[in-house]
Every structure is written in structure tokens, then in C-alpha cells.
Amino acid sequence: MGDEIDKNSQRANMSTDTYQEWAHVLELGGGSASSLTTATKTLSNVITDAGNGGASAAEKLNSIGLSYEQIAELSPEEQFEAVVYALADMEEGSERTAAAQDLLGRAGMDLIPTLNSGKEAIEDMRAEAHDLGLVLSEDTLNASVAFNDSLTTLKGAVTGIAGNLMGELMPGLQGVTDGLVGFVSGSMSAEEATTMMSEGVQSLLETVTTMLTEGIPMLLEMAVQLFMAIVDALPTVTTALAEALPNIITTIITSLVGAIPDILEGAVATLMAIVDAIPVIIVSLVEALPEIINTVLNALFDSISLLFDAATTFLMAIVEAIP
């Protein structure tokens, strides 16, 4: 994500902060941040044409109340801002829609719903991107770019290792495959095919053995270097953690203390709800009590005959068992 923001902001000739602000504005209007690159390119072409004496390009700028002289002195992101705000100040209608499309391309069309809100609302949207934490800092973006570059390098290294590995194993695999194909097709006798496949397997085993012999020391060296790097980093990490720990503890305690009124309020509300429900529960219980008693008594009465029969059977068994 950070790497994409960094690269797209460069393509749009904007700072990363400004790019993320306008990306938020476009997305709120149902558009896409990807259209910003096209928008700034389209606007740059119009300004360049106007500077070269193009009457049509100059007219496009004049249609929103701007001149080439006014806008040429601005940076690309300031030019984009000036055009958007000028469009926002225009009355809704086909003229503004046409001007937005002429000057900004697809992004101009994406901005139409937002333009209807006015310049002040657009400024609020840009500020909202910061308030919501949607604008990543330069340090965060740089870290993301560096991490993405490392992943790309690692992917390339792994791909290269895999390619070299297949290159080393290919002769042995080829021998096994050729022997099997020759036997199945009948172009080789069983003895010839077996010999070729055996040589292929032997080549594979020798290659794998060589790789392991050469690779294990390298892996061990890498493991040692990684371990030493972790050991070297421990003091720094420990110091940073020790410095951050008071702030973390303070934040947790402050949050807990701040939450105590809400917790107490919730507990009191729950208790009051239980107290309020007690009369209802008692009334329901009193109303149901006769039915409960009747059910229990009926169950007892129904069980008496069964108990009597069981007792009689038990006594008869005892009598019959007496010699």
C-alpha cells in the first residue's frame, strides 16, 4: 500500500500527503484514486498547449475563470487544486461537467458529485483524511517502500536459486525421462532404458549431495549471522522498550481510569434493570405457582402406583429368594 502511494504520487506530480488527501476526496465521491495520475497528465497537457499559444487550451482554462499566466507559476499539485476549486465555484450544469472532463479527464467526471458540495466541503474532506489517519507519514511510506523493495529482491533471489537448482538437476531428470520414454516407445531395450535411468538417478543423487555439502555451511553461516544480528539489536530494542514502557503503562492506566465511570454507570444500570425486573418476575412466579404445584402433585400421584408396583415386585422377589 505504502509503495503504491509513493509511486502513484510521483506519477501524479504530487507530494504523498496531497495525493492521499485527493485520493480520499475522490473515493468519497465514488471515484478512484488511480484517476489522479490521468487527471494531472491531462491538465499538464492543457497548460502546456495554452503556453504554446493553443487557443483551444487557453479557452478551457478561461471557461473556469483561470488564465495561463495565473496557473503556469504554480506547482502541479497547486494547479490541480486551483482547477478543482475553480470548478467547485461554478454553477452546476453541463458547462461545468464539460470543463471538468476537458481539464481533468476521467477524474473530472469522478469529482462531479464532490464538486456539487462546494469548495469548503472539499477542504473538509481533505482535512478529514488526516483526522481519520488515512494520510500515512513520510517515514511510514519510506519504510513501506524499503520493505517492498526488499521483498522484490528476495523474490528475485529465490527465483534465481530455483532456476539454478533446476539447471543443475536437469541432466539427471533428462536421463530418467529419456530412458522411460525410450522403453515405453520401444526404441530402447529394457536393459538400455534401465541403464539410462540409473545413470540419471545417479546424476541426481550426486547433484543433490553436492548441493547439500556446499549449502549446509552457507546456511549455518547465515544462521549465525542472523543470531548475532539479533543479539546486537537486543540492547537497542530493550532500551526502546524501556523508554516506551512508562508511556504504555500510563496510557493503559489512563484508559482504565477514564473507563471507570462508564463501567460503574453500566453496572448501576444493569443492577437497576434487575431490581426493576424483580416485581415482574415475582408476579409471573406467583401466577405460575398454582400450575407448578398442580403439575408436581399430578406427577407424584401418577408415580405412586408405579412405586407401589415396584415395591411389591421387590418384596415378592425377596420372598421367593428365601429358602
Give, as one character, the DSSP assignment of residue 91: P
Q: Is residue 64 a contact partner of residue 87, using CB atoms and an 8 Å limit?
A: yes
pTM of the model: 0.53
CA distances from 242 to 151, 229, 231, 252, 255 (A): 31, 20, 17, 16, 20
Q: What is the dihedral of CA 262, 266, 267, 272, to 10 degrees?
A: 140
57-87 pLDDT tens trace: 999 999 999 999 999 889 999 999 999 999 9
Q: Average pLDDT, whole number, for the chain?
A: 84
117-154 pLDDT tens trace: 889 999 999 999 998 888 888 878 877 777 777 778 87
Q: Is residue 168 a contact partner of residue 207, using CB atoms and an 8 Å limit?
A: yes
Q: Cβ contacts of residue 168 below 8 Å, gap of 6+?
A: 207, 211
Q: Cβ contacts of residue 179 below 8 Å, gap of 6+?
A: 188, 192, 193, 194, 195, 196, 197, 200
pLDDT at 236: 79
Q: Whole-angstrom Cα distance, residue 201 to residue 183?
A: 16
Q: Give which of 37, 69, 111, 79 is closest to 99, Cα–Cα.
A: 111
